[in-house]
Structure 1
Amino acid sequence: MSNPKPERRRGEALEAAILEAAWDALMEAGYAALTMEAVARRAGTSRPVLYRRWPNVAELTVAAMRHHLAANPLEIPDTGNLRDDVIGLMRHIVERRTRMGSLISVELSGFFRETNSSPAKLKTQIVSREQHVMEILLSRAIARGEIEDRVIRPRVISLPVDLLRNEMMMTLEPASDQSIAEITDEIFLPLVGYRGGRE
């Protein structure tokens, strides 16, 4: 009796399998060794299937990174005060981004040359949730009376995560708890006018 043929994947299921295969290949061998053929083989499909969705390896790389981040979303801390929420968020980012930080700063140098891009431009393509999460934390802090209800500019909202990301990209190491506390206590909280909860 012959073995049944595996079910043919289509649509979103096939695309997810391809993007997961691309991410795994990127993590294992880096961007320089990433090829459409290798990803297709790993995903159990063909190169034409990939090319119908992504015209080149660079666009497949961006899609794979975006898919990975979407599949592993940031948790939204809810400790009851802004300081601990921000520190909890930053620690989670460190845990999730240590490997990606190394990938972006070192292994994607070929990607940046090919696409005339930069880490900052790539960030805008793949990252959006961090800003949204920080806005939620600030809204809760306003409701608790920890900060004034005023407009906080996007650059200030993104500052702690930007500083954290920059440190990890420069050192290629996870940011320490001391660094996270310094960014939070000495830079971010004073900028947003943190005064703690009201009695």
Structure 2
Amino acid sequence: MTDTRTRRRGTELEHAILDAAWAELSEVGYPSLTIEAVAKRAGTSKPVIYRRWPSRAALVIAAWARRQPIHEAAPDQGSLRADLLWLFTRIATRMDAMMSQTIAGVMAEAFKHPEVQDLLRDRLDSAPLARTLGTIVENAVARGELRPAALPRRVLRLPLDLLRSEAILCGTPLSEETLAALVDDVYIPLLKGLAADHGH
């Protein structure tokens, strides 16, 4: 018996599994998602999935990462505020594709499993977000809007944390007013405060 599904290897197979996981998430939500259902949809087996992702949360994080990476270089829109609004909007748009219930489910599981917590932290720390933010801040420094300052890891991760918190508490999509408030009331004052402290 020949089955074309059994001949898939490497990236092709992984993409099929991640696409299947995303489809399951979209249909049933995180609490009802099972590895068995993902395997059936992807035309593979549970052991094949578990060899790549040790838990349901790890699979969901990988499926999310495939859907919402930020690859684009940050455009220079002429001001720190405009650049940050662009970035926050890009993140929020991708987050809107993810049900807030799913985000909450992954976070809840992460708190129960240290290995998943580590995986989440590694994912956030290695995301293109840090590079994009670095470019935005460098542009602001070049324009004279900010003094040079080193950005701690948590500050680089904060846009994701802020938007995730808003999505869990208030649901998605996040309004333009919410995004503007996060930029104006939280992130710009934080950057300016860090730059001021660095200057002393």
Q: Could you say whether these structures have the same fold, taking a TM-score greater than 0.5 normalized by the shorter chain as the test?
A: yes
Cα pair distance change 1:42/1:75, threshold 3 Å: farther
Identify unmatched segments of 5+ residues in structure 2.
194-200
The answer on whether the counterparts of 2:130 and 2:156 sit within 8 Å (CA) in structure 1 is yes
Q: Which residue of the partner structure matches residue 46 of structure 1?
A: 45
The answer on whether the counterparts of 1:22 and 1:61 sit within 8 Å (CA) in structure 2 is yes
Identify unmatched segments of 5+ residues in structure 1.
195-199
Structure 2 residue 95 is matched with structure 1 residue 97: yes
Aligned positions, number: 189
User: What is the DSSP-based 3-state SS (H/G/I as helix, E as strand, rest coil) of the residue aligned with 2:98?
Assistant: helix
User: What is the DSSP-based 3-state SS (H/G/I as helix, E as strand, rest coil) of the residue aligned with 1:100?
Assistant: coil
Q: Please tell me the residue identity of whatever aligns with 1:54.
A: W
The answer on whether the counterparts of 2:22 and 2:64 sit within 8 Å (CA) in structure 1 is yes
Q: Which residue of the partner structure matches residue 8 of structure 2?
A: 9
Report deviation, 1:23.
Answer: 1.6
Cα pair distance change 1:58/1:148, threshold 3 Å: closer
Q: Which structure is larger by alpha-carbon Rg, 1 or 2?
A: 1
Report deviation, 1:188.
Answer: 2.3
Measure the CA separation in 2 of the matches of 1:49 and 1:99.
27
After superposition, the CA RMSD in angstroms is 3.1
More helix by share: 2
Measure the CA separation in 2 of the matches of 1:181 and 1:190.
13
Cα deviation code 1:146-186 (max 9, x no counterpart): 21123233333443443232222111132222222222223
Cα pair distance change 1:91/1:49, threshold 3 Å: same
Cα pair distance change 1:109/1:94, threshold 3 Å: closer
Q: Which residue of the partner structure matches residue 126 of structure 1?
A: 123
Matching residue within 84, 99, 111 for 2:82: 84
Q: Which residue of the partner structure matches residue 155 of structure 1?
A: 154
Give me the TM-score of the superposition, normalised by structure 2: 0.76
The answer on whether the counterparts of 2:68 and 2:95 sit within 8 Å (CA) in structure 1 is no
Cα pair distance change 1:50/1:5, threshold 3 Å: closer
Of all paired residues, the percent bearing the same amino acid is 37
Q: Which residue of the partner structure matches residue 109 of structure 2?
A: 111
Give me the TM-score of the superposition, normalised by structure 1: 0.76
Q: Which residue of the partner structure matches residue 197 of structure 2?
A: none
